[in-house]
Each structure stands twice: as structure tokens, then as C-alpha cells.
Amino acid sequence: MITIQLVQKEQKVLKLRYKNKTTGGALSLLDTTITLVIKKDNVLITKNDTDFDKTLAVQGIVKVTLTSNDLDLVMGNYRVEIKTVFSDGTIDKNVNFILHIAKSFIED
């Protein structure tokens, strides 16, 4: 499983690229609903479809911003699940990764 490391309280834009599993080409995300969930114990952060920048969706690329408030988390590993629902009702939720939150060296 992939691990992505981010720093506590540091805003970050995640760029996600979807590919067709058969052809390897870009998978259009125009008619999709995407949800990203970060979870661990009692922590649950959700980014809904309206939080995603779909400017390049036809090319299989979307972006979502994790704000400094979203990333105001205790150091450690969090599980991330991305669920994509296509207009035909097909659901792809096989995109999972570990988000490792590292300590910020800058204090408030």
C-alpha cells in the first residue's frame, strides 16, 4: 500500500490521476461523484465531490485541497479511502493509501 507523508497543519493539494485499468489511458471523471475519507480511531475527515477541482476531469485528473485545519492531526498513520461513483452506478473504491502525518517544526 502506498504511503504519502504530509506535515501537521500544512495545507496541501492532492492531485489524483485515474487510469483505465484495461487500456492504461486516462479515465474521464466528468460524470462521477468522488468522496475522500481520512480515518483513524475517532478521527474522520471527509472531502465531498464539491470539494474536488474537476477542471481536468475529462483527462482523468482531479485535485482536492487538504487545509491546515484538516491536517491539524496527531502524528501517525491514517487510512485514506477514495470512493468514485460513476454515472452508470459503478462504484470504484479500490483507491486506498496510508497518510502519514509528520510533526511540524513550526509552533503556533
CATH code: domain of residue 69: 2.60.40.10
Residue 55 lies in a domain: yes
Q: Is residue 57 part of a domain?
A: yes
Question: Is pLDDT at 108 greater than 70 in this prediction?
Answer: no
Q: For residues 80-104, give the mean pLDDT.
A: 89
Measure the CA–CA gap between 94 and 82, rounded to whole angstroms.
7
Higher pLDDT, 57 or 104: 57
What does the buried/exposed string (b/e) look like for 12-51 if buried means 16 or more CB atoms within 10 Å of the residue's CB?
A: eebebebeeeeeeebbebeebebbbbbebeeeebebeeeb
User: What is the C-alpha R_g of the chain?
Assistant: 15
Does 63 map to a domain? yes
Residue bearing the bigger pLDDT, 52 or 1: 52
Q: Is residue 108 part of a domain?
A: no
Task: State the Cα angle at 38 between 64 and 5, rounded to 5°.
Answer: 75
Residue range 32-39: average pLDDT? 96
Q: Which domain holds residue 28?
A: 3-102
Domain count, the chain: 1
Q: Does the residue 61 lie in any domain?
A: yes
pLDDT of residue 107: 65
Q: Could you tell me the pLDDT band of residue 105, with boundaries at 50, 70 and 90?
A: confident
Mean pLDDT confidence for 12-37:
93
Q: What percent of the chain has pLDDT over 70?
A: 96
